[in-house]
Amino acid sequence: MSVRAASIVFAGVPPDGLPIFQFAYVVDDLEAAADHWASTMGAGPFFVAAHHRADRFLYRGQQIEADVSYAFGYSGTTQIQLVVQHDELPSIYREMFPSGGGLHHIASLVADYDDARQRLVDQGHELACELDANDIHACYFDCRASLQCFVELHSRTDRIVATFARWQREHEEWDGQGSALRHHASGT
């Protein structure tokens, strides 16, 4: 990992903290939401992972994986994730937004995933969802009672740090012209 990539993703990480690197929003239409973020906030471009599938996925302890697509972009140094669910299966997204959408979760990229996960369990937060995809581990805790949203813990790997750094560079170099959406192959 380059020094530049490390500074992009991890600037200002407090010791023993869970720094927020991402704000995620449930939306009805990825393209319309990406265009709105681009025109209003100068965010983008957004990289789409269409109909994302995990290697292992648990929702509330059951093997239920809804059909979702994600779009990831940057506004400055902050990652914005847009989420659209294509079906009506139970999920953390439908649980919070049976219809419509809004701020769904904040995410922290953590070096010690198991430690961070256990810390939130020990604090009494309910584990709502957990997944493995490629070399990534992620989980979502239901923190709506205290933070009004879910909290995602996302494992930090060299590959994901490089991917996020590449997306942020694309943001810095983007002139806002053309489509705000770009295709992304999961695992790259």
pLDDT digits (tens, 9 = 90+) for 56-93: 999 999 999 999 999 999 999 999 999 999 999 999 99
Beta carbons within 8 Å of 16's beta carbon, 6+ residues apart: none
pLDDT tens digits, 86-132: 999 999 999 999 999 999 999 999 999 999 999 999 999 999 999 99
**Alpha-carbon distance 47 to 21, whole Å?**
16
State the DSSP string of 92-104: HHHHH-SSS-EEE
Task: Give yes or no for a contact between 108 and 152, defined as CB atoms under 8 angstroms apart.
Answer: yes
Does the domain at residues 19-175 carry the CATH identifier 1.10.274.10?
A: no
- Of 66, 85, 68, 44, give the one whose Cα is nearest residue 167: 44
Block residue for tokens 């560079």: 169
